[in-house]
Chains A and B, each alone.
Chain A
Amino acid sequence: MRLYRLLLHLYPSSYRADYGDEMCADFEQELRLSSGALAKMWLWLAAIVDVVSNAAAVQWQIARRDISYSLRSLKRSPGFTITALLLITIGIGANAAIFTLADFVLVRPLPFPHPERLVEIWEQHRGYSHMELSPPTIATSRPPARRLTTWEPIPT
């Protein structure tokens, strides 16, 4: 009987509180009246199918009622509905933008081979400690460190 009671947890709790005990009593009676292992097994099988299908129907019925109640409430207060919809839209949009950015910056590998060998080189001049190299400088100079065999600019 404990198994049948466990099976009844597929129903919503309010429904179980109203009819659970009676359903258990009915099933207990049916089991008592059935004779033979095969009959009992058949009874169990029928009970499982019965509970699963009817519990799904009851859950769907409650969900439909909730949805219809929500829609009616939203229709009664259009100001709240528009504000809520706008907030949801902005929230979804902002989330999508942040995750797209995070994906490109943090997750995806850089779009060229051996990205771990990438270095950034700056020029220092008086008064300017952090200047980007100009294309002619790159074209006419040698790599500034021994460990750099070749160098070429990456178009950005």
Chain B
Amino acid sequence: MAEKESMDALLPLQPTSFHILLSLADEDRHGYAIIQDISRRTNDEIKLSAGTLYRSIQRLQEQGLIVETRTRPAPEEDDERRRYYSITAMGKAAAQVEVRRLHSLLKMARSCGVVPRTT
């Protein structure tokens, strides 16, 4: 019950936070890799700046939706200035709830005729 309440307090997720959670859903990434991944997924429509990204990362860490992971790539591929982030179980749950919220919003828009119905 308390978990549901804390989850409700996080929703709706900010678009930037949602994109970061999606980016970390399949693999752990460092900040710059998150920027590139979001840019690739959205066909360059969203290109996060470093300032916006790290503010969102800080917020997501405080909310317990992502954590810094100790797993790092091989030393020859690693840059010690980089920090790697991983999505938590709570982060995945928050992303799923957000997807359901967006889905019901889409259904509502379809029923109102704002969005064409798909067959």
User: Which residues on A are within 8 Å of B, measured CB to CB?
Assistant: 15, 18-19, 21-27, 29, 46-47, 50-51, 53-55, 57-58
Contacts and interface: CB of A to CB of B under 8 A. Distances in A.
Interface stretch (B20-28, B79-87, B88-96, B111-119): B79-87
Contacts of A18: 58
A46 B49 contact: yes
Contact of B55 (A21, A26, A47, A58): A58
Nearest to A15: B58
Looking at chain B, what size class is its interface with the partner chain?
Answer: 10 to 19
A22 B51 contact: no
Contacts of B58: 15, 18-19
A146 B59 CA distance: 85
B57 A29 contact: no
A18 B62 CA distance: 13
A19 B81 contact: no
A61 B19 CA distance: 22
Interface in B27-46: 30-32, 35
Contacts of B30: 22
13 contacts: A18-B58, A19-B57, A22-B32, A23-B51, A23-B54, A25-B32, A26-B31, A26-B32, A26-B35, A46-B49, A50-B51, A51-B51, A55-B51
B102 interface: no
Contacts of B55: 54, 57-58
B52 interface: yes
Given A26-B35, A29-B32, A19 B79 contact: no
B81 A21 contact: yes
B108 interface: no
A54 B32 contact: no
Nearest to B31: A22
Nearest to B30: A22
B50 interface: yes
A122 to B, nearest CB: 75
A50 B55 CA distance: 11
Nearest to B79: A25
A22 B83 CA distance: 7
A54 B51 contact: yes
A22 B81 contact: yes
Contacts of A29: 32
Contacts of A22: 30-32, 54, 81-83
